[in-house]
Structure 1
């Protein structure tokens, strides 16, 4: 048996193993990078208003893949705030308000909507929000790949 004959089977086996590893790795990378398409539309409507108070209804329509758990946020620049809500929980911090699902309305199928309402307080001007974010992504009626929230750079300097 010649030297070439002995190394040829090893070379073929090595090529087969390398091809198998490459195929498996590509499959895993493809599976990890596959993400759900996201998209939504928000209808915000003030349905009643009186001096220093108002009622509003909000409908979130899912234009992307199904959602299981949602958080809708916006900013009010005129100092409004929520005093009571139904069909969602709410939290406010300065000008930002967040509404989140309850157990029974956490899922929004593709093409479906979820609605909630609230009473709020205003003084001066009661302007509608201009930008909404659903689970961190701008809700502007378009559908696209998910966005990754920005990460803060690590702190600089040394610990004493």
Structure 2
């Protein structure tokens, strides 16, 4: 005798697992520069009723850079409330994170990370695209 799990229960369980440990890795290359390349990992590290914590890892896969700027937009009204290891600002849905003096220089293959806390109402979806120093990244 086999046991069948109702589709709605299975989907609900899957969405809870996904929300608790959501991670997106995105890769990209800049159209104008063959040596340009970048990778961003966006991880929701913690989530509660109306808030969340996130960690972002920026990896340079191209030529060395002296500083970096990462941009993304939220689709569901999320708001960044505090951050560390980057200067983070938000205007409407658009978020900008800029490197600090101690973590801006990235050699080829080098990486750094920053984190932040934020609020959400309802769905806390991972952003659809990111832009790192002009390099557009799409989730794989």
The answer to whether the Cα contact below 8 Å between 1:36 and 1:65 also exists between their aligned partners in 2 is no
Structure 2: unaligned runs, 5 residues or longer: 1-32
Off by >3 Å, runs of 4+ in structure 1: none
String of CA shifts for 1:6-46, please: whole Å, max 9, x gaps.
xxxxxxxxxxxxxxxxxxxxxxxxxxxxx672111111010
**Does residue 85 in structure 1 map to residue 83 in structure 2?**
yes
Whose strand fraction is larger, Structure 1's or Structure 2's? 2
Give aligned pairs, total. Answer: 108
Residues 87, 36 of structure 1: CA spacing in aligned structure 2 closer, same or farther, 3 A cutoff?
farther
Larger radius of gyration: 1
Summarize the alignment of residues 2-21 of structure 1 with structure 2, pairs less than 5 Å apart.
none
Q: Residues of 2 paired with 1:79 and 1:95: CA distance?
A: 7
Give the aligned partner of residue 116 of structure 1. 114
Whose helix fraction is larger, Structure 1's or Structure 2's? 1
Q: TM-score, normalised by structure 2?
A: 0.73
Residues 125, 44 of structure 1: CA spacing in aligned structure 2 closer, same or farther, 3 A cutoff?
same
